[in-house]
Chains A and B, each alone.
Chain A
Amino acid sequence: MNDDPDAFTLGPLQAGPPCCEPQPLIQVRNLTLHYDGKTALDNVSLDIYKGCITALIGPSGCGKTSFLSAINRMTDLIPCCGIDGRILVDNQDIHHRDCDVQALRRRIGMVFQKPAPFPLSIRRNIALPLNEHGVTQKKEVAAITETVLRDVGLWGEVCDRLDASALSLSGGQQQRLCIARALALNPEILLMDEPCSALDPIASGVVEDLICRLQGRYTIVIVTHNLAQARRIANYAAFFWVRERTGQLVEFGRCRHIFESPREALTAAYVNGARG
Protein backbone atom coordinates (compact mmCIF):
# COMPACT_ATOMS: atom_id res chain seq x y z
CA MET A 1 0.00 0.00 0.00
CA ASN A 2 1.02 3.62 0.23
CA ASP A 3 2.44 3.44 3.67
CA ASP A 4 5.98 4.54 3.02
CA PRO A 5 6.98 7.10 5.66
CA ASP A 6 7.87 9.77 3.11
CA ALA A 7 4.26 9.94 2.04
CA PHE A 8 3.26 11.45 5.36
CA THR A 9 3.92 15.10 4.86
CA LEU A 10 1.47 17.48 6.35
CA GLY A 11 0.14 20.43 4.49
CA PRO A 12 0.35 24.01 5.76
CA LEU A 13 -2.03 24.93 8.53
CA GLN A 14 -2.17 28.39 10.01
CA ALA A 15 -1.72 28.34 13.71
CA GLY A 16 -4.83 29.36 15.56
CA PRO A 17 -4.98 31.85 18.36
CA PRO A 18 -3.15 30.67 21.47
CA CYS A 19 -5.21 28.25 23.44
CA CYS A 20 -6.76 28.42 26.79
CA GLU A 21 -8.64 31.55 27.17
CA PRO A 22 -10.33 30.38 30.33
CA GLN A 23 -13.74 30.56 28.76
CA PRO A 24 -15.88 27.43 28.94
CA LEU A 25 -17.50 26.42 25.63
CA ILE A 26 -19.12 23.24 26.87
CA GLN A 27 -20.53 23.07 30.36
CA VAL A 28 -21.59 19.69 31.62
CA ARG A 29 -23.70 19.75 34.75
CA ASN A 30 -24.59 16.67 36.80
CA LEU A 31 -24.58 14.39 33.80
CA THR A 32 -25.83 10.87 34.57
CA LEU A 33 -26.17 8.21 31.88
CA HIS A 34 -28.11 4.97 32.11
CA TYR A 35 -28.21 2.05 29.79
CA ASP A 36 -31.21 -0.19 30.45
CA GLY A 37 -31.51 1.28 33.91
CA LYS A 38 -27.88 0.57 34.78
CA THR A 39 -25.90 3.68 35.55
CA ALA A 40 -22.91 3.97 33.28
CA LEU A 41 -21.81 7.46 34.23
CA ASP A 42 -22.62 9.08 37.50
CA ASN A 43 -23.05 12.77 38.16
CA VAL A 44 -20.28 14.30 36.10
CA SER A 45 -19.79 18.05 36.00
CA LEU A 46 -17.07 19.45 33.84
CA ASP A 47 -16.16 22.55 31.82
CA ILE A 48 -14.43 22.28 28.51
CA TYR A 49 -12.51 25.36 27.50
CA LYS A 50 -12.62 27.01 24.15
CA GLY A 51 -9.72 26.33 21.82
CA CYS A 52 -8.07 23.79 24.10
CA ILE A 53 -7.43 20.09 23.86
CA THR A 54 -9.04 18.19 26.69
CA ALA A 55 -8.01 14.57 27.12
CA LEU A 56 -10.30 12.06 28.79
CA ILE A 57 -8.27 9.30 30.39
CA GLY A 58 -9.07 6.29 32.52
CA PRO A 59 -9.43 2.53 32.38
CA SER A 60 -11.78 0.71 29.99
CA GLY A 61 -15.44 0.87 30.85
CA CYS A 62 -15.19 4.06 32.89
CA GLY A 63 -17.63 5.92 30.66
CA LYS A 64 -15.23 8.12 28.69
CA THR A 65 -16.78 7.21 25.38
CA SER A 66 -20.30 7.53 26.77
CA PHE A 67 -19.41 11.00 28.00
CA LEU A 68 -18.06 11.92 24.59
CA SER A 69 -21.13 10.60 22.78
CA ALA A 70 -23.45 12.54 25.06
CA ILE A 71 -21.92 15.85 23.93
CA ASN A 72 -23.18 15.56 20.34
CA ARG A 73 -26.19 13.45 21.28
CA MET A 74 -24.93 10.31 19.58
CA THR A 75 -26.48 8.66 22.63
CA ASP A 76 -29.86 9.31 20.96
CA LEU A 77 -29.04 6.45 18.62
CA ILE A 78 -28.70 3.92 21.43
CA PRO A 79 -32.05 2.52 22.43
CA CYS A 80 -32.83 2.51 26.17
CA CYS A 81 -30.14 5.04 26.92
CA GLY A 82 -31.34 7.63 29.41
CA ILE A 83 -29.71 10.95 30.28
CA ASP A 84 -30.11 13.19 33.32
CA GLY A 85 -28.38 16.48 33.85
CA ARG A 86 -27.60 19.26 31.47
CA ILE A 87 -25.06 19.88 28.76
CA LEU A 88 -24.68 23.48 27.61
CA VAL A 89 -22.84 24.26 24.41
CA ASP A 90 -22.27 27.96 24.04
CA ASN A 91 -24.86 28.45 26.79
CA GLN A 92 -27.50 26.50 24.90
CA ASP A 93 -29.00 23.36 26.35
CA ILE A 94 -28.48 20.65 23.72
CA HIS A 95 -31.47 18.70 24.98
CA HIS A 96 -33.76 21.68 24.60
CA ARG A 97 -36.73 21.29 22.29
CA ASP A 98 -35.47 24.00 19.93
CA CYS A 99 -32.08 22.42 19.46
CA ASP A 100 -31.85 20.77 16.05
CA VAL A 101 -29.74 17.66 16.44
CA GLN A 102 -28.41 17.79 12.87
CA ALA A 103 -27.33 21.39 13.27
CA LEU A 104 -25.77 20.50 16.63
CA ARG A 105 -23.76 17.70 15.06
CA ARG A 106 -22.60 20.06 12.40
CA ARG A 107 -21.12 22.30 15.10
CA ILE A 108 -19.62 19.31 16.90
CA GLY A 109 -17.64 17.00 14.65
CA MET A 110 -16.73 13.50 15.74
CA VAL A 111 -13.94 11.12 14.77
CA PHE A 112 -14.17 7.47 15.75
CA GLN A 113 -11.67 4.84 16.76
CA LYS A 114 -12.00 2.81 13.59
CA PRO A 115 -11.80 4.90 10.44
CA ALA A 116 -15.03 4.39 8.49
CA PRO A 117 -15.01 6.32 5.23
CA PHE A 118 -18.19 5.88 3.23
CA PRO A 119 -17.79 3.41 0.36
CA LEU A 120 -17.86 6.29 -2.10
CA SER A 121 -15.17 8.27 -3.88
CA ILE A 122 -12.81 10.44 -1.83
CA ARG A 123 -14.39 13.57 -3.26
CA ARG A 124 -17.92 12.40 -2.52
CA ASN A 125 -16.99 11.52 1.06
CA ILE A 126 -16.41 15.19 1.74
CA ALA A 127 -19.07 16.57 -0.58
CA LEU A 128 -21.92 14.48 0.82
CA PRO A 129 -22.12 16.05 4.30
CA LEU A 130 -21.55 19.49 2.76
CA ASN A 131 -24.47 19.01 0.39
CA GLU A 132 -26.61 17.82 3.24
CA HIS A 133 -25.86 21.03 5.12
CA GLY A 134 -26.73 23.27 2.23
CA VAL A 135 -23.35 23.82 0.57
CA THR A 136 -24.24 22.75 -2.94
CA GLN A 137 -22.24 24.99 -5.27
CA LYS A 138 -19.61 22.90 -7.01
CA LYS A 139 -16.91 25.55 -6.79
CA GLU A 140 -17.39 26.08 -3.10
CA VAL A 141 -17.41 22.34 -2.42
CA ALA A 142 -14.23 21.88 -4.43
CA ALA A 143 -12.52 24.73 -2.61
CA ILE A 144 -13.47 23.36 0.81
CA THR A 145 -12.38 19.87 -0.24
CA GLU A 146 -8.95 21.11 -1.19
CA THR A 147 -8.57 23.18 1.97
CA VAL A 148 -9.47 20.42 4.38
CA LEU A 149 -7.42 17.81 2.54
CA ARG A 150 -4.45 20.17 2.75
CA ASP A 151 -5.19 20.72 6.43
CA VAL A 152 -4.92 17.03 7.17
CA GLY A 153 -1.93 16.60 4.84
CA LEU A 154 -3.73 14.32 2.45
CA TRP A 155 -3.89 16.62 -0.55
CA GLY A 156 -0.49 15.74 -1.95
CA GLU A 157 -1.25 12.05 -1.67
CA VAL A 158 -4.70 12.01 -3.24
CA CYS A 159 -5.12 15.16 -5.37
CA ASP A 160 -4.71 13.17 -8.58
CA ARG A 161 -7.20 10.46 -7.62
CA LEU A 162 -10.06 12.21 -5.87
CA ASP A 163 -12.51 9.99 -7.71
CA ALA A 164 -10.95 6.76 -6.49
CA SER A 165 -12.81 4.82 -3.82
CA ALA A 166 -12.06 6.00 -0.31
CA LEU A 167 -11.67 2.35 0.66
CA SER A 168 -8.53 2.15 -1.49
CA LEU A 169 -6.68 4.36 1.01
CA SER A 170 -4.49 2.95 3.77
CA GLY A 171 -5.72 2.94 7.37
CA GLY A 172 -3.91 6.12 8.35
CA GLN A 173 -5.08 7.90 5.22
CA GLN A 174 -8.64 6.77 5.87
CA GLN A 175 -8.52 8.22 9.37
CA ARG A 176 -7.18 11.52 8.08
CA LEU A 177 -9.93 11.54 5.45
CA CYS A 178 -12.47 11.06 8.24
CA ILE A 179 -10.95 13.99 10.11
CA ALA A 180 -11.01 16.08 6.92
CA ARG A 181 -14.64 15.13 6.41
CA ALA A 182 -15.46 16.37 9.89
CA LEU A 183 -13.44 19.57 9.40
CA ALA A 184 -15.21 20.33 6.12
CA LEU A 185 -18.35 21.24 8.03
CA ASN A 186 -16.32 23.86 9.87
CA PRO A 187 -17.24 22.67 13.35
CA GLU A 188 -16.30 24.52 16.51
CA ILE A 189 -15.74 21.38 18.50
CA LEU A 190 -14.09 18.09 17.55
CA LEU A 191 -14.77 14.95 19.55
CA MET A 192 -12.21 12.21 19.04
CA ASP A 193 -12.70 8.70 20.35
CA GLU A 194 -9.25 7.08 20.46
CA PRO A 195 -8.49 8.25 16.92
CA CYS A 196 -5.04 6.65 16.85
CA SER A 197 -5.61 3.31 18.51
CA ALA A 198 -6.52 1.40 15.34
CA LEU A 199 -3.51 2.73 13.42
CA ASP A 200 0.07 1.55 13.11
CA PRO A 201 2.68 3.62 15.00
CA ILE A 202 3.76 5.75 12.04
CA ALA A 203 0.25 6.63 10.94
CA SER A 204 -0.64 7.18 14.57
CA GLY A 205 2.20 9.69 14.89
CA VAL A 206 1.02 11.59 11.85
CA VAL A 207 -2.53 11.83 13.18
CA GLU A 208 -1.21 12.95 16.56
CA ASP A 209 0.80 15.73 14.95
CA LEU A 210 -2.29 16.73 13.06
CA ILE A 211 -4.34 16.97 16.26
CA CYS A 212 -1.66 19.18 17.81
CA ARG A 213 -1.83 21.54 14.89
CA LEU A 214 -5.62 21.74 15.10
CA GLN A 215 -5.29 23.11 18.62
CA GLY A 216 -6.50 26.69 18.92
CA ARG A 217 -8.71 26.56 15.85
CA TYR A 218 -10.98 23.92 17.28
CA THR A 219 -12.01 22.90 20.74
CA ILE A 220 -10.96 19.28 20.95
CA VAL A 221 -12.08 16.58 23.34
CA ILE A 222 -10.10 13.40 22.90
CA VAL A 223 -10.47 10.00 24.55
CA THR A 224 -7.18 8.18 24.73
CA HIS A 225 -5.71 5.15 26.43
CA ASN A 226 -2.25 6.31 25.63
CA LEU A 227 -1.17 8.37 28.64
CA ALA A 228 2.02 9.55 26.97
CA GLN A 229 -0.04 10.84 24.09
CA ALA A 230 -2.45 12.63 26.41
CA ARG A 231 0.48 14.24 28.15
CA ARG A 232 2.03 15.34 24.86
CA ILE A 233 -0.98 16.93 23.26
CA ALA A 234 -3.56 17.93 25.88
CA ASN A 235 -3.99 21.20 27.75
CA TYR A 236 -6.52 19.79 30.17
CA ALA A 237 -7.13 16.28 31.34
CA ALA A 238 -10.11 14.61 32.96
CA PHE A 239 -9.51 11.36 34.81
CA PHE A 240 -12.41 8.91 34.97
CA TRP A 241 -12.55 5.81 37.12
CA VAL A 242 -14.95 2.90 37.33
CA ARG A 243 -16.46 1.73 40.61
CA GLU A 244 -18.98 -1.10 40.68
CA ARG A 245 -19.41 -0.77 36.91
CA THR A 246 -20.33 2.88 37.20
CA GLY A 247 -18.04 5.47 35.73
CA GLN A 248 -17.31 8.71 37.53
CA LEU A 249 -15.09 11.72 37.16
CA VAL A 250 -12.27 11.64 39.69
CA GLU A 251 -10.28 14.67 38.82
CA PHE A 252 -10.16 17.39 36.23
CA GLY A 253 -7.51 20.02 35.76
CA ARG A 254 -4.65 21.28 33.70
CA CYS A 255 -2.81 18.44 32.06
CA ARG A 256 0.42 19.28 33.88
CA HIS A 257 -1.31 19.14 37.25
CA ILE A 258 -3.03 15.87 36.55
CA PHE A 259 0.21 14.21 35.50
CA GLU A 260 2.64 15.85 37.87
CA SER A 261 0.79 16.89 40.99
CA PRO A 262 -2.66 15.33 41.14
CA ARG A 263 -4.83 15.95 44.14
CA GLU A 264 -6.22 12.44 44.30
CA ALA A 265 -4.17 9.40 45.20
CA LEU A 266 -6.09 7.34 42.64
CA THR A 267 -5.05 9.70 39.85
CA ALA A 268 -1.46 9.60 40.95
CA ALA A 269 -1.51 5.83 40.99
CA TYR A 270 -3.09 5.63 37.55
CA VAL A 271 -0.86 8.13 35.77
CA ASN A 272 2.21 6.56 37.31
CA GLY A 273 1.14 3.22 35.96
CA ALA A 274 0.54 1.57 39.30
CA ARG A 275 -3.02 0.55 38.45
CA GLY A 276 -4.85 -0.08 35.20
Chain B
Amino acid sequence: MFESAALRTRRKIRDCVAQGLIYLAVMLVSLVFFWLLVDLARGGMTHLSWAFLTESPRDAGRAGGIASILVSTLLILLVALVAAIPLAWSTAILLAELVPAESSFGRSVRFSLHVLAGVPSIVFGLFGNAFFSIYLGLGFSILSGGLTLACMLLPILTSTAEAGLRAVPDSYRLSAAALGLSRTAALTHLILPAAAPALAAGLLIGIGRALAETAALLFTSGYVDRMPGSLLDSGRALALHIFDLSMNVPGGDESAYASALMLVILLLCINILAMKLAYGLQRKKIMT
Protein backbone atom coordinates (compact mmCIF):
# COMPACT_ATOMS: atom_id res chain seq x y z
CA MET B 1 0.00 0.00 0.00
CA PHE B 2 1.53 3.27 -1.05
CA GLU B 3 0.83 6.64 0.38
CA SER B 4 -0.44 9.42 -1.79
CA ALA B 5 2.09 12.00 -2.82
CA ALA B 6 -0.17 14.73 -1.43
CA LEU B 7 -0.04 13.23 2.04
CA ARG B 8 3.73 12.99 1.85
CA THR B 9 4.05 16.61 0.72
CA ARG B 10 1.72 17.78 3.45
CA ARG B 11 3.80 15.98 6.05
CA LYS B 12 7.01 17.44 4.64
CA ILE B 13 5.59 20.96 4.67
CA ARG B 14 4.39 20.59 8.25
CA ASP B 15 7.82 19.38 9.35
CA CYS B 16 9.57 22.20 7.54
CA VAL B 17 7.27 24.81 9.05
CA ALA B 18 7.83 23.43 12.54
CA GLN B 19 11.57 23.36 12.03
CA GLY B 20 11.55 26.86 10.62
CA LEU B 21 9.61 28.21 13.57
CA ILE B 22 11.97 26.58 16.04
CA TYR B 23 15.04 27.96 14.27
CA LEU B 24 13.37 31.36 14.20
CA ALA B 25 12.71 31.23 17.95
CA VAL B 26 16.26 30.16 18.69
CA MET B 27 17.66 32.90 16.47
CA LEU B 28 15.49 35.48 18.18
CA VAL B 29 16.55 34.32 21.64
CA SER B 30 20.25 34.25 20.77
CA LEU B 31 20.03 37.61 19.06
CA VAL B 32 18.43 39.31 22.05
CA PHE B 33 20.87 37.74 24.45
CA PHE B 34 23.90 38.65 22.36
CA TRP B 35 22.53 42.16 22.17
CA LEU B 36 22.34 42.23 25.97
CA LEU B 37 25.82 40.81 26.47
CA VAL B 38 27.46 42.96 23.81
CA ASP B 39 25.72 46.06 25.10
CA LEU B 40 26.89 45.27 28.60
CA ALA B 41 30.46 44.62 27.48
CA ARG B 42 30.65 47.73 25.32
CA GLY B 43 29.10 49.97 27.93
CA GLY B 44 31.26 48.61 30.71
CA MET B 45 34.64 48.19 29.02
CA THR B 46 35.34 51.90 28.66
CA HIS B 47 34.92 52.57 32.34
CA LEU B 48 36.24 49.39 33.87
CA SER B 49 39.84 49.69 34.99
CA TRP B 50 42.11 48.85 37.87
CA ALA B 51 41.50 52.28 39.34
CA PHE B 52 37.76 51.67 39.17
CA LEU B 53 38.18 48.59 41.32
CA THR B 54 40.48 50.19 43.88
CA GLU B 55 38.94 53.62 44.43
CA SER B 56 35.97 54.39 46.57
CA PRO B 57 32.93 55.98 44.95
CA ARG B 58 32.69 59.78 44.88
CA ASP B 59 29.82 62.04 43.96
CA ALA B 60 27.18 59.38 44.69
CA GLY B 61 29.04 56.91 42.52
CA ARG B 62 29.27 59.01 39.35
CA ALA B 63 33.00 59.25 39.82
CA GLY B 64 35.53 57.12 41.60
CA GLY B 65 35.30 53.36 41.78
CA ILE B 66 33.69 50.54 43.66
CA ALA B 67 36.33 49.50 46.22
CA SER B 68 34.13 50.04 49.26
CA ILE B 69 31.23 48.36 47.47
CA LEU B 70 33.33 45.29 46.75
CA VAL B 71 34.47 45.14 50.38
CA SER B 72 30.88 45.39 51.63
CA THR B 73 29.75 42.74 49.15
CA LEU B 74 32.49 40.43 50.30
CA LEU B 75 31.68 40.99 53.98
CA ILE B 76 27.95 40.37 53.42
CA LEU B 77 28.84 37.21 51.53
CA LEU B 78 31.18 36.03 54.29
CA VAL B 79 28.58 36.60 56.99
CA ALA B 80 25.99 34.74 54.90
CA LEU B 81 28.29 31.78 54.29
CA VAL B 82 29.55 31.54 57.86
CA ALA B 83 25.97 31.48 59.08
CA ALA B 84 24.48 29.26 56.38
CA ILE B 85 27.15 26.61 55.79
CA PRO B 86 27.16 24.93 59.21
CA LEU B 87 23.37 24.82 59.30
CA ALA B 88 22.96 23.71 55.70
CA TRP B 89 25.62 21.05 55.74
CA SER B 90 24.66 19.59 59.07
CA THR B 91 21.08 19.41 57.81
CA ALA B 92 22.28 17.74 54.65
CA ILE B 93 24.41 15.19 56.52
CA LEU B 94 21.54 14.41 58.83
CA LEU B 95 19.08 13.99 55.95
CA ALA B 96 21.40 11.96 53.77
CA GLU B 97 23.25 9.82 56.29
CA LEU B 98 21.49 9.50 59.60
CA VAL B 99 17.75 9.80 59.11
CA PRO B 100 15.78 7.39 56.92
CA ALA B 101 14.54 9.26 53.86
CA GLU B 102 10.89 8.63 54.67
CA SER B 103 10.97 9.47 58.37
CA SER B 104 8.60 12.21 59.46
CA PHE B 105 11.43 14.36 60.77
CA GLY B 106 13.32 14.17 57.50
CA ARG B 107 10.20 14.79 55.49
CA SER B 108 9.17 17.84 57.43
CA VAL B 109 12.65 19.36 57.31
CA ARG B 110 12.80 18.76 53.57
CA PHE B 111 9.32 20.19 53.08
CA SER B 112 10.18 23.30 55.04
CA LEU B 113 13.32 23.86 52.98
CA HIS B 114 11.37 23.26 49.78
CA VAL B 115 8.93 25.99 50.73
CA LEU B 116 11.78 28.26 51.76
CA ALA B 117 13.35 27.84 48.33
CA GLY B 118 10.23 29.27 46.72
CA VAL B 119 9.95 32.40 48.85
CA PRO B 120 10.47 35.55 46.74
CA SER B 121 13.56 37.53 47.68
CA ILE B 122 11.60 40.67 48.50
CA VAL B 123 9.82 38.67 51.20
CA PHE B 124 13.20 37.69 52.63
CA GLY B 125 13.93 41.40 52.67
CA LEU B 126 10.76 42.10 54.65
CA PHE B 127 11.56 39.35 57.11
CA GLY B 128 15.19 40.43 57.47
CA ASN B 129 14.12 43.98 58.13
CA ALA B 130 11.55 42.95 60.73
CA PHE B 131 13.63 40.29 62.47
CA PHE B 132 17.32 41.09 62.17
CA SER B 133 17.24 44.86 61.75
CA ILE B 134 14.48 45.73 64.16
CA TYR B 135 13.66 42.81 66.47
CA LEU B 136 17.30 41.85 67.09
CA GLY B 137 18.33 45.49 66.88
CA LEU B 138 21.07 45.02 64.30
CA GLY B 139 19.82 47.98 62.31
CA PHE B 140 20.80 48.49 58.69
CA SER B 141 24.04 46.59 58.77
CA ILE B 142 26.22 44.14 56.95
CA LEU B 143 25.40 41.64 59.68
CA SER B 144 21.64 41.77 59.16
CA GLY B 145 22.05 41.72 55.37
CA GLY B 146 24.35 38.72 55.58
CA LEU B 147 22.04 36.84 57.93
CA THR B 148 19.08 37.51 55.63
CA LEU B 149 21.07 36.14 52.72
CA ALA B 150 22.00 33.13 54.85
CA CYS B 151 18.30 32.25 55.15
CA MET B 152 18.02 32.48 51.36
CA LEU B 153 21.03 30.28 50.75
CA LEU B 154 19.98 27.59 53.19
CA PRO B 155 17.76 25.58 50.82
CA ILE B 156 20.15 25.64 47.87
CA LEU B 157 23.19 24.69 49.97
CA THR B 158 21.27 21.91 51.70
CA SER B 159 19.81 20.37 48.57
CA THR B 160 23.11 20.38 46.64
CA ALA B 161 24.99 18.93 49.61
CA GLU B 162 22.36 16.26 50.21
CA ALA B 163 22.46 15.23 46.55
CA GLY B 164 26.26 15.09 46.70
CA LEU B 165 26.25 12.91 49.82
CA ARG B 166 23.65 10.59 48.35
CA ALA B 167 25.82 10.14 45.29
CA VAL B 168 28.61 8.64 47.41
CA PRO B 169 28.41 4.90 46.77
CA ASP B 170 26.91 2.82 49.56
CA SER B 171 29.88 0.47 49.44
CA TYR B 172 31.92 3.14 51.28
CA ARG B 173 29.47 3.10 54.18
CA LEU B 174 29.19 -0.68 54.26
CA SER B 175 32.93 -1.28 54.18
CA ALA B 176 33.50 1.37 56.85
CA ALA B 177 30.92 -0.28 59.05
CA ALA B 178 32.46 -3.67 58.37
CA LEU B 179 35.82 -2.33 59.54
CA GLY B 180 34.19 -1.20 62.77
CA LEU B 181 34.55 2.53 62.12
CA SER B 182 32.20 4.77 64.01
CA ARG B 183 29.80 6.79 61.89
CA THR B 184 31.64 9.97 62.80
CA ALA B 185 34.92 8.50 61.59
CA ALA B 186 33.35 7.16 58.41
CA LEU B 187 31.86 10.58 57.74
CA THR B 188 34.98 12.61 58.34
CA HIS B 189 37.46 10.25 56.70
CA LEU B 190 35.50 8.72 53.86
CA ILE B 191 32.17 10.20 52.96
CA LEU B 192 32.79 13.91 53.30
CA PRO B 193 36.04 13.80 51.29
CA ALA B 194 34.28 11.80 48.61
CA ALA B 195 31.45 14.31 48.48
CA ALA B 196 33.74 17.35 48.68
CA PRO B 197 33.56 18.35 44.99
CA ALA B 198 29.77 18.26 45.12
CA LEU B 199 29.74 20.35 48.28
CA ALA B 200 32.10 22.85 46.65
CA ALA B 201 29.98 23.05 43.50
CA GLY B 202 26.90 23.69 45.62
CA LEU B 203 28.79 26.32 47.56
CA LEU B 204 29.73 28.11 44.36
CA ILE B 205 26.14 28.08 43.16
CA GLY B 206 25.15 29.57 46.51
CA ILE B 207 27.79 32.28 46.23
CA GLY B 208 26.49 33.12 42.76
CA ARG B 209 22.98 33.50 44.12
CA ALA B 210 24.17 35.69 46.96
CA LEU B 211 26.16 37.99 44.68
CA ALA B 212 23.19 38.45 42.37
CA GLU B 213 20.79 39.31 45.16
CA THR B 214 19.39 42.80 45.47
CA ALA B 215 15.85 42.86 46.79
CA ALA B 216 16.63 41.07 50.05
CA LEU B 217 19.38 43.57 50.85
CA LEU B 218 17.44 46.76 50.08
CA PHE B 219 16.29 47.28 53.64
CA THR B 220 18.62 45.03 55.58
CA SER B 221 22.17 45.99 54.68
CA GLY B 222 21.30 49.47 53.51
CA TYR B 223 22.59 51.97 51.00
CA VAL B 224 25.64 53.56 52.54
CA ASP B 225 28.53 53.47 50.08
CA ARG B 226 31.32 54.33 52.54
CA MET B 227 34.00 51.79 53.41
CA PRO B 228 32.46 49.74 56.24
CA GLY B 229 34.29 49.97 59.57
CA SER B 230 32.64 46.98 61.23
CA LEU B 231 30.00 44.38 60.59
CA LEU B 232 27.45 46.63 62.26
CA ASP B 233 28.00 49.36 59.68
CA SER B 234 25.70 49.65 56.75
CA GLY B 235 27.28 48.55 53.46
CA ARG B 236 26.09 48.60 49.88
CA ALA B 237 26.27 45.41 47.84
CA LEU B 238 27.42 45.48 44.21
CA ALA B 239 24.01 44.55 42.79
CA LEU B 240 22.37 47.23 44.88
CA HIS B 241 24.98 49.71 43.65
CA ILE B 242 23.94 49.04 40.05
CA PHE B 243 20.31 49.55 40.98
CA ASP B 244 20.97 52.78 42.83
CA LEU B 245 23.20 54.24 40.12
CA SER B 246 20.74 53.55 37.35
CA MET B 247 17.56 54.53 39.19
CA ASN B 248 18.51 57.29 41.61
CA VAL B 249 21.66 58.90 40.26
CA PRO B 250 21.29 60.86 37.03
CA GLY B 251 24.49 60.50 35.07
CA GLY B 252 25.46 57.32 36.86
CA ASP B 253 25.01 55.09 33.83
CA GLU B 254 28.68 54.73 33.00
CA SER B 255 29.59 53.53 36.47
CA ALA B 256 26.50 51.36 36.46
CA TYR B 257 27.59 49.73 33.20
CA ALA B 258 31.06 49.06 34.57
CA SER B 259 29.66 47.65 37.83
CA ALA B 260 27.19 45.45 35.93
CA LEU B 261 29.97 44.11 33.73
CA MET B 262 32.08 43.45 36.82
CA LEU B 263 29.21 41.57 38.47
CA VAL B 264 28.51 39.49 35.35
CA ILE B 265 32.20 38.61 34.96
CA LEU B 266 32.38 37.57 38.61
CA LEU B 267 29.29 35.40 38.26
CA LEU B 268 30.55 33.93 35.02
CA CYS B 269 33.82 32.86 36.66
CA ILE B 270 31.93 31.29 39.53
CA ASN B 271 29.56 29.47 37.18
CA ILE B 272 32.39 28.12 35.07
CA LEU B 273 34.19 26.91 38.18
CA ALA B 274 31.03 25.22 39.46
CA MET B 275 30.46 23.58 36.09
CA LYS B 276 34.06 22.35 35.99
CA LEU B 277 33.60 20.77 39.41
CA ALA B 278 30.32 19.16 38.43
CA TYR B 279 31.82 17.94 35.15
CA GLY B 280 34.86 16.48 36.92
CA LEU B 281 32.43 14.73 39.23
CA GLN B 282 30.61 13.12 36.33
CA ARG B 283 33.84 12.01 34.75
CA LYS B 284 34.96 10.39 37.99
CA LYS B 285 31.70 8.53 38.24
CA ILE B 286 32.14 7.14 34.76
CA MET B 287 35.69 6.09 35.49
CA THR B 288 34.83 4.03 38.54
Contact = CB atoms under 8 A, between A and B. Distances in A.
For chain B, give the interface size range: under 10
Residue of A103, A132, A133, A186 most packed against chain B (CB within 10 A):
A103
B11 A106 contact: no
A106 B2 CA distance: 9
B170 interface: no
B59 interface: no
Contacts of B1: 106-107, 186, 188
Interface in B1-52: 1-4, 7-8, 11
A21 B2 CA distance: 23
Nearest to A106: B3
Contact of B8 (A102, A186, A188): A102
Contacts of B2: 103
Contact of B7 (A107, A134, A188): A134
A132 B10 CA distance: 11
A100 interface: yes
Contacts, number: 18
Which range contains the number of A residues in contact with the other chain? 10 to 19
A90 to B, nearest CB: 10
Contacts of B3: 100, 103, 106, 133-134
Contacts of A100: 3, 8
Contacts of B4: 134
A134 B8 CA distance: 9
Nearest to B8: A100
Contacts of B8: 100, 102-103
A133 B6 CA distance: 11
A146 B1 CA distance: 20
A118 B192 CA distance: 42
Interface string A154-189: 000000000000000000000000000000001010
A198 to B, nearest CB: 27
A50 to B, nearest CB: 15
Contacts of B11: 102, 132
A260 B19 CA distance: 55
Interface string B196-230: 00000000000000000000000000000000000
Nearest to B15: A102
A25 to B, nearest CB: 14
Contacts of B7: 133-134
A100 B3 CA distance: 10
A204 to B, nearest CB: 31
Interface in B37-86: none
A141 to B, nearest CB: 15
Interface in A95-123: 100, 102-103, 106-107
Interface in A179-230: 186, 188
Interface in A124-168: 132-134
B221 to A, nearest CB: 49
**7 A-B pairs with the lowest CB-CB distances in the bound complex, closest first:** A134-B7, A103-B3, A100-B8, A186-B1, A103-B8, A133-B3, A134-B3
Interface of A: 100, 102-103, 106-107, 132-134, 186, 188
18 contacts: A100-B3, A100-B8, A102-B8, A102-B11, A103-B2, A103-B3, A103-B8, A106-B1, A106-B3, A107-B1, A132-B11, A133-B3, A133-B7, A134-B3, A134-B4, A134-B7, A186-B1, A188-B1
Given A106-B1, A107-B1, A134-B4, 15 more contacts: A100-B3, A100-B8, A102-B8, A102-B11, A103-B2, A103-B3, A103-B8, A106-B3, A132-B11, A133-B3, A133-B7, A134-B3, A134-B7, A186-B1, A188-B1
